[in-house]
Amino acid sequence: MSMMKGFSNAFRIPELRKKIFITLGLVFVCRLISQIPTPGVDWAALSKSIADMRAASQGGGSLMDLFDVFTGGALGQCAIGFLSIWPYISASIVIQLLGSVIPALEKMKKDGETGRQQLAQVTRYLTIVLCIVQSWGIATVVSMPGLGMGLSYNGELLQAVSNPGLGFHLMTVIGMTTASLFVIWIADQITTFGIGNGASLIIMINITSRLPQALLSAWQRYFGLDGVQATAPLAELPIVLGFFVVVVMGTVMLVQGVRKVAINSTRRSVGGGNTYGMQQTFMPLRVNYTGVMPIIFAQPLIQIPAALLKRVTDPTSTGFSGMLNRFADDLANPTTLHIVIYALLIMFFAFFWVATQFNAIDISENLKKGGSYIPGIRPGRATAEFLDDMMTKITLIGGTGLLVVALIPNLLMGWMNIPWDIASFFGGTSLLIIVGVALDTLRIMESHLLVRKYEGFLSHGTLRGRGGV
């Protein structure tokens, strides 16, 4: 009841109501862009051929499925909004990583507002480069007979582009790059005039746009649909729903979890003779400090090599080529090999991301300059070592939790034969992003409610922010 009352109160505040409607309108425009087919592409034949290839695959979670998740279904139409916000996200990640090794970028990060503006400009330039490269690559693949994957339609090798060539490539590059930059602009407008972080909201909406199809698949699986018999016993449904609730609760705990480190500030004198005594605050170290980054890094590193190996090997061969093809199949599908490599990559990138983004030395120096310290720990190097050791232990716990959430869809597909479009909402990147962005957005709305003396979404306590995608 408290949650519903919170939503009701949100529409009683004119400023908040305006922000909500602006956000909904801009999100609608983004979804519209993701449904406009690229000119020159026979999107109907392309969609049917992709559906045939999915039906013939062993499960799900392939590179194609990942593209479809993050683009909100733009893959089937080869829409001009296929790239969506992802070139900007990729550029931001690259700049973040390079900021730890390139002195010029590191200097920008420390130069306050001016440096942040310069860093944002560099990110935008890199975004344009990525848009051009990726859209050219998409145009090249779509122009190939059978998409370079042997896809066929009605027994004939598919030719998705009626007039391939330089003209089609240029048109695709201009269309997709412009659409992507427009979506990035919309994300900025949502951040400025709407509710929450625009880029995160667009990614979440793209993912949740697949929810109706997932519900339809679930209904067909347990109740049958259009003359198709149910493929699973109805007794399985309560178990699956209960498991889903448990997974969501665990994901919320993972996203919200923090380790509070006590910070004491020394006595200091202020003008006028006023003296403030020692105060204690807390430094929150997030359990899931890496967010979804380890999964985002790990998935392509498994699926891209598998896709390339399948293209250059012969599945009918009994020699080395056939062995590589079978290895690629095991790598791409939820087999034991896939799960083991996926788990190792996630844990590696969890520690890698913390090592590159969490600077214990800078934090200890800032505490020392501010006259603050951790009780029982000497300022300076000892504080840095303490924070580094603490973050290593937290990352082990958070990385393990992230690993469990990431592997749940694979385990459901492998053990219970649940289709990918259903299993993907039980964990992995999809659920982490949905839960994290939803909590951030509710927290912002709750802050508006509490400032105006309205009741928040929770009867006790308040929502905590997640701190980024």
Find all residues with CB under 8 Å of 241, minimum gap 6, and list them.
none
pLDDT at 190: 93
Cα–Cα distance between 119 and 98 in angstroms, integer?
11
Q: What is the pLDDT of residues 316-369, one digit of tens each?
A: 777 788 888 888 888 877 788 888 898 999 999 999 888 888 888 888 988 888
CB burial readout 88-100, b (16+ within 10 A) else e: bbbbbbebbbebe
User: In the CATH scheme, what architecture does the domain 13-209 have?
Assistant: Orthogonal Bundle (1.10)
Structure tokens at 172: 């695709």
Single out the residue of 464, 324, 455 nearest to residue 3, CA to CA: 455
pLDDT at 427: 78
Cα–Cα distance between 408 and 255 in angstroms, integer?
16
pLDDT along the chain (469 residues), means of 10: 68 85 92 87 70 59 68 76 88 83 80 82 92 90 66 60 85 93 93 88 88 86 81 86 89 88 72 58 88 83 81 78 83 81 91 87 87 87 91 92 87 80 82 86 81 62 55
CB 184 within 8 A of CB 86: no
Q: pTM for the complete prediction?
A: 0.81
- Report domain extents, the chain: 13-209
CB 354 within 8 A of CB 391: yes
Structure tokens at 401: 């939790």
Cα–Cα distance between 6 and 277 in angstroms, integer?
39
Contacts 24+ apart (CB under 8 A), 335-343: 335/414, 338/302, 338/410, 339/407, 339/410, 339/411, 339/414, 341/302, 342/298, 342/299, 342/302, 342/406, 342/407, 342/410, 343/403, 343/407
pLDDT at 127: 93
Q: What is the H or E stretch that residue 278 is in?
A: none
CB 256 within 8 A of CB 466: yes
pLDDT at 440: 84
Find all residues with CB under 8 Å of 67, minimum gap 6, and list them.
75
